[in-house]
Structure formats: structure tokens, C-alpha cells
């Protein structure tokens, strides 16, 4: 199976089956038995197509008079992958993109679709990447209108456009070095650190973290620099009672334990039993012994007083769209408004668990005023286009 076919499968399953692109890609790439080069190409095509689908569908409808909703699902997915190559994938010749996509369409949708596929793709190829530049910002960068409007109100037009562009690029590849597993660490790729985050290592070359020996041994954990800021701001000390109120999947919990030097009591709350079990395995793999995982709803947890509390509640996730290609299409303004109300309730509850003189840190992986400043004023907002990492809002509450 080719890289294009693997990308097609990810796109088809994402939009026709409701699958999560970042979760199914590894399985599709493995099934296709892609080498490292083709795997990178497949990821580029799959993620890019999913991210840019609004623009791609607009191109097919306006340039070729073919509304995607009128096409059979298999042909629609193939044409989306082809249109992405023609409009956004620099380095792929237009002729090759058209020919390869026509062959893909024949394979997945039937030989009778070749003429239609060729006609649509030729129209898109004739327009070329320059056609995209004349579109309104939300359509040009392929975001829901409500997201673009939120960012423009928050950052201004230029800032919103820069942010949209940044979150269409691959996110930085960074790992947290686990100080509970001391020893020499050589990942075999160029890397650099961050003076603000001694445990952070930003990789400057391709590296498969998920398949690495270092991850299996608990020496590293994939985590953005933005995601490492909350634990640093919380500043737990050895021997303290620390609460991680929405803990899974465990990146921040492992960092908290390391900052505590694995001494004290770290309570990790997770409401889903399966995720809680995975969290226990993650912490054990990182050599954490001071943590206990409690299966409970954060709003119902009332066990004891804590010197430090980290609240990282559910959010709209608008700061991590680069690594979650389909997330922008799963969010609605109404859902974002509802989750902001939940965040306020959770914060009020967390304050009731804080010991006198303790510290509570509120953290969300989003870029949205109502979920940041609107919940806890005076915090810090990281921005992908400015800071080079995920968008997080972090504040002492």
C-alpha cells in the first residue's frame, strides 16, 4: 500500500466513520508497511488534508462545480487527498498528484470514476496554490468561522491569521526528560533545551517517540513545552501533599512526581476506569512511587487537604489543533461555552480542597478568552506562532 493510499484511509475514516486522525494514523501506516520516508509523506498528506478540508471542499465546489456532498464517500476522500497535494503540498508536481490520485480513485471508487476524478483535479490544478491566497482568512486557512472570530477578537486580525497559519504546520517535537530515570540520554537526533524548563528537550530532527526504547524505559515522555509550564508554576516540593485533579494521560502527573523527587503524596484523579488504569501504568513506567490513582469525578472528589493542586480541566482544545488534525471540526461554540461553565465549577470545587497557604494552578490547552482570562484573570497565554509551542493558558488561582 502506498503513502497516498494510507493517507486516503485516514481521511476516509476520519470523516465517514468519526475516527480520530492522530489515533488511527499509526495503525494505517503500520498496515501499509511504510518505510520512514513514506510514513512521513503519508502523515503530511493525511493530517494536511484533514486540517484543510474546508478549503479543499470549497475548491472542488467552486472550481469544478462538484459539491463534495454529492460524491460517493470513497471518491470524495480520494479527491480531497489529491486536491491537498495540488494546493498545499509543495514539492509534489501537479502532474504526479493528478495521475496518482486518479489511480487511487479507480482503486477505491471504481474505474468508472476516472474521468470525473481527472476533470475535478485538472480544474483544481489549473487554479493552483495562488487561488487560495485570495480567499477570506477562515476559508483560506480552513477553520470554522467561530474559531477565527474568537481569535480575531482576542488577537486582532494579523494575530489571528498568524495563529491559524501556525496551527496548520506540524507542532514542535519535544519530550520531557524524566529525572526519576537518571542516566545518559542520547536520542540520536539534534536537540536543544529551554532555560525556563530544564526537563524539556526540543528535537530538531525526525524521531519516532512512540516506538523509541527511551519511551519504553520511562526515560522520556512526549510533552510540549506549553504542557510543562503548569507543573513548573505549581512548584511542588518534596514531602508535600499534591493533587492532580484531572490527571490522565499522565504527562503532568509524572512531571509533578519528578519535581517532588518522588517524595510526598501525589493524588491523581481520573473519572474513567480505563484511563485511570492506563495512568497507573504510565506512572509506574516512569518510576513514580509516590502517586495514587483515584477513580472519581473531579467535582465529587473530597478526600483531604492539599498543599498544591493542579486543575487541568476539559477545554475546547484550540491550542493543540496542530497535533490533532480533526479537532477543529469537532468543536462548536456552544460546546466551548458549556465547557467554560464547567471549568468555573471545577475551579470553585478545587479551591475548597486547598490547604491554608497552598497554591492552586489552573491550566487549559486552549486559546480562548472565556476559558482563560474569563476564568482566572492575569495568567499567561502561550501562542504557537509566537512561542513555538502549544497554546496553553496557565494561572495561579
Residue range 390-395: mean pLDDT, rounded? 98
Q: What's the confidence (pLDDT) of residue 284?
A: 97
Q: What is the pLDDT of residues 119-157, one digit of tens each?
A: 999 999 999 999 999 999 999 999 999 999 999 999 999
Q: What's the confidence (pLDDT) of residue 304?
A: 87
Residue range 175-179: mean pLDDT, rounded? 97
Q: Are residues 105 and 234 in the same domain?
A: no
Cα separations in angstroms, 285 against 67, 120, 280, 292:
50, 51, 9, 14
Strand intervals (E) in 53-195:
173-177, 191-194
Residue range 8-20: mean pLDDT, rounded? 98
Closest of 209, 197, 293, 289 to residue 245, by C-alpha: 293
Contacts of 74 (CB under 8 A, 6+ apart): 12, 108, 109
Q: Are residues 131 and 235 in the same domain?
A: no
Tell how strand 265-270 and strand 291-295 pair up. parallel
Residue range 144-171: mean pLDDT, rounded? 97
Residue range 168-185: mean pLDDT, rounded? 95
DSSP annotation of 29 reads H
Q: What's the confidence (pLDDT) of residue 313?
A: 97
Cα separations in angstroms, 155 against 84, 150, 318:
28, 9, 14
Spatial distance between the Cα atoms of 298 and 7, rounded to a whole number of angstroms: 38
Q: How far is CA 154 from the centre of its chain?
A: 21
Element (H, E) at 360: strand 354-364
Q: Would the pLDDT of 116 be above 80?
A: yes
Pick from 135, 157, 181: which residue ends a domain?
Answer: 135
Is residue 386 domain-resident? yes
Q: What's the confidence (pLDDT) of residue 332?
A: 96
CATH of the domain at 353: 3.40.50.150
Is residue 188 domain-resident? no
DSSP annotation of 194 reads E
Q: What is the pLDDT of residues 249-273, one digit of tens each?
A: 999 999 999 999 999 999 999 999 9
Q: Are residues 119 and 9 in the same domain?
A: yes
Is residue 197 domain-resident? no
Residue range 22-35: mean pLDDT, rounded? 94
Residue range 362-367: mean pLDDT, rounded? 98
Cα separations in angstroms, 255 against 178, 222, 232, 265, 286:
7, 11, 9, 14, 10
Task: Reduce the DSSP state of residue 259 to 3 states and report it.
Answer: helix
Pick from 80, 100, 135: which residue ends a domain?
Answer: 135
Cell of 281: 501504568
Q: What is the pLDDT of residues 186-240, one digit of tens each?
A: 999 999 999 999 999 999 999 999 889 999 999 999 999 999 999 999 999 999 9
Residue range 273-287: mean pLDDT, rounded? 96
DSSP annotation of 170 reads P
CATH of the domain at 54: 1.10.940.10
Tally of domains within the chain = 2
Is residue 318 within 8 Å of residue 147, measured between CB atoms?
Answer: yes
Is residue 179 domain-resident? no
Task: Reduce the DSSP state of residue 304 to 3 states and report it.
Answer: coil
249-282: b (≥16 Cβ within 10 Å) or e: ebbbbbbbbbbbebebbbbbbbbeeebbebbbeb
Q: Would the pLDDT of 1 be above 70?
A: no
Cell of 125: 490544478
- Mean pLDDT score of the chain, rounded to an integer? 96
Residue range 277-291: mean pLDDT, rounded? 97
Contacts of 169 (CB under 8 A, 6+ apart): 322
Contacts of 247 (CB under 8 A, 6+ apart): 253, 268, 269, 270, 279, 293
Pick from 135, 153, 173: which residue ends a domain?
Answer: 135
Q: Are residues 105 and 232 in the same domain?
A: no
| Residues annotated as part of the active site | 365
Element (H, E) at 157: helix 145-166
Cell of 289: 512511587
My answer on whether omega of the bond before 63 falls inside 30° of 0, hence cis, is no
Contacts of 124 (CB under 8 A, 6+ apart): 59, 60, 63, 64, 82, 83, 86, 87
Q: Domain of 316?
A: 225-396
Cα separations in angstroms, 94 against 64, 81, 85, 129:
16, 13, 8, 11
Q: What's the confidence (pLDDT) of residue 183?
A: 86
Amino acid at each position: 500500500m502506498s503513502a497516498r493510499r494510507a493517507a486516503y484511509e485516514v481521511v476516509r475514516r476520519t470523516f465517514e466513520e468519526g475516527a480520530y486522525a492522530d489515533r488511527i494514523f499509526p495503525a494505517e501506516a503500520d498496515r501499509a508497511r511504510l518505510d520512514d520516508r513514506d510514513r512521513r509523506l503519508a502523515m503530511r498528506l493525511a493530517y494536511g488534508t484533514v486540517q484543510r478540508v474546508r478549503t479543499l471542499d470549497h475548491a472542488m465546489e467552486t472550481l469544478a462545480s462538484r459539491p463534495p456532498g454529492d460524491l460517493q464517500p470513497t471518491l470524495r476522500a480520494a479527491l480531497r487527498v489529491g486536491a491537498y497535494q495540488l494546493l498545499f503540498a509543495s514539492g509534489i508536481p501537479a502532474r504526479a498528484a493528478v495521475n496518482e490520485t486518479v489511480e487511487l480513485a479507480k482503486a477505491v471508487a471504481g474505474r468508472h470514476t476516472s474521468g470525473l476524478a481527472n476533470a475535478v483535479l485538472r480544474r483544481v490544478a489549473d487554479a493552483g496554490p495562488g487561488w487560495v491566497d485570495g480567499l477570506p482568512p477562515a476559508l483560506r486557512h480552513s477553520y470554522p468561522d467561530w474559531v477565527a472570530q474568537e481569535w480575531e477578537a482576542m488577537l486582532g486580525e494579523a494575530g489571528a491569521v498568524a495563529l491559524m497559519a501556525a496551527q496548520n504546520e506540524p507542532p514542535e517535537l519535544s519530550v520531557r526528560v524524566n529525572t526519576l530515570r537518571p542516566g545518559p540520554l542520547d536520542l540520536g537526533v539534534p536537540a536543544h533545551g529551554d532555560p525556563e524548563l530544564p526537563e524539556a528537550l526540543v528535537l530538531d530532527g525526525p524521531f519516532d517517540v512512540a516506538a523509541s526504547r527511551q519511551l519504553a524505559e520511562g526515560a522520556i515522555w512526549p510533552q510540549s513545552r506549553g504542557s510543562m509550564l503548569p507543573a513548573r508554576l505549581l512548584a511542588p516540593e518534596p514531602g508535600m501533599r499534591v493533587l492532580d485533579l484531572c490527571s490522565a494521560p499522565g504527562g503532568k502527573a509524572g512531571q509533578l512526581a519528578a519535581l517532588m523527587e518522588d517524595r510526598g503524596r501525589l493524588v491523581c484523579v481520573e473519572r474513567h476506569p480505563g484511563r485511570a488504569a492506563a495512568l497507573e501504568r504510565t506512572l509506574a513506567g516512569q518510576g513514580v512511587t509516590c502517586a495514587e490513582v483515584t477513580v472519581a469525578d473531579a467535582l465529587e472528589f473530597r478526600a483531604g487537604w492539599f498543599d498544591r493542586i493542579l486543575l487541568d480541566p476539559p477545554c475546547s482544545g484550540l491550542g493543540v489543533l496542530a497535533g490533532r488534525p480533526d479537532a477543529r471540526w469537532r468543536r462548536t461554540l456552544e460546546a466551548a461555552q458549556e465547557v467554560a461553565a464547567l471549568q468555573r465549577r471545577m475551579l470553585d470545587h478545587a479551591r475548597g480542597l486547598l490547604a491554608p497557604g497552598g497554591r492552586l494552578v489552573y491550566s487549559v490547552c486552549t486559546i480562548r478568552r472565556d476559558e482563560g482570562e474569563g476564568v482566572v484573570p492575569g495568567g499567561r497565554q502561550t501562542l504557537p506562532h509566537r512561542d513555538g509551542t502549544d497554546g496553553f493558558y496557565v494561572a495561579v488561582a
